[in-house]
Amino acid sequence: MEPPPDTVLAAFELSGEAVLLPGGQGETWRVGGVVLKPVGFVAEAVWRAEVLAGLPEGLGFRVARPVRARSGAWVVDGWEAGELLAGATDVGRPDDVLRAGAAFHETLAALPRPAFLDVRDNPWTYGDRVAWAEQPAGGSPAYQELVGALFEARRPIASTAQVVHGDLLGNVMFADGLSPAIIDWPVYWRPPAWAAAVAVVDALCWYDARPELAARWAHLPEWGQMLVRALIYRITTDDAARGPAVWTAAHRDAYQTAIDVALGYTR
């Protein structure tokens, strides 16, 4: 990924060397105390910036305040900017991540559903819609075999949807003496328990979390159904984004462990 061009730096009134930051899919750059990254979907980036800019302080979490360009725009030539926050992500602290996510979601609970969700289209939105039976599933034979028991276990739910963060586990930063920081917010309209379930599923599949993690959060509403939908979402997205080659034995086994845990909460 090329660094932000000089025209973008000038638009945000920045000067100095652009330094590539770890994470962020190799696309996030720091210039002084500002972080710049390419925008995936402009309507989402603008909506998100307006929300984050308006949040008060002292909510039990931090956010990176967006930086406006000199023109007043939040996005310039496909780039957005935000303040650099102290801290680092830690996937080994899933309970702390989930607590930070809960505070974040409580703060956002009254926001209306964003209109851009009706037109955003990528492998992640496809996986989300399949998980919630809003779109039929296709996919490779290996995918169909892996996900079949989850579809069979899926039942209607009564939980209320709201704006949530759909990828919490690797996007909460910790620093000594500071509240956790929520970063890189992909916006979804789902129950908060689903967002927690996605983080738990990720921890179980990829970061050596034990089934006791799921048990500690089983008080959340309709927990088994949230885990089922979180897994359908992740598995469907994997198949859509990476194709049949993703289904190595190790990749299937990682999901199967979490599937077994999830199904235990649906019986």
Q: How confident is the model at residue 24 (pLDDT cuts 50, 70, 90)?
A: low
| Residues pairing with 88 in the sheet | 174
Q: How confident is the model at residue 48 (pLDDT cuts 50, 70, 90)?
A: very high
- Phi/psi of residue 28, each to 5°? -110, 130
Mean pLDDT to the nearest integer, 87-94: 97
For the CA atoms of 41, 42, 43, 46, what is the dihedral angle to 10 degrees? Answer: 130
Q: What is the per-residue pLDDT for 22?
A: 86
Q: Which of 109, 162, 128 is nearest to 234 (CA)?
A: 128
Q: Are 229 and 154 in contact (CB under 8 A)?
A: yes
Q: What is the per-residue pLDDT for 153?
A: 98
- Phi/psi of residue 20, each to 5°? -70, 130
| Tokens standing for residue 87 | 């801290």
Q: What percent of the chain has a predicted confidence (pLDDT) above 90?
A: 95
User: From CA 74, how far away is CA 65, in angstroms rounded?
Assistant: 11
Residues 6+ apart with CB under 8 A from 242: none
Q: Is the pLDDT of residue 23 over 90?
A: no
Mean pLDDT to the nearest integer, 130-153: 96
Q: How far is CA 201 from CA 38, 40, 93, 100, 258, in A?
A: 28, 25, 14, 17, 6
Q: What is the per-residue pLDDT for 227?
A: 98
Q: What is the per-residue pLDDT for 158?
A: 98
Tens-digit pLDDT profile for residues 195-215: 999 999 999 999 999 999 999
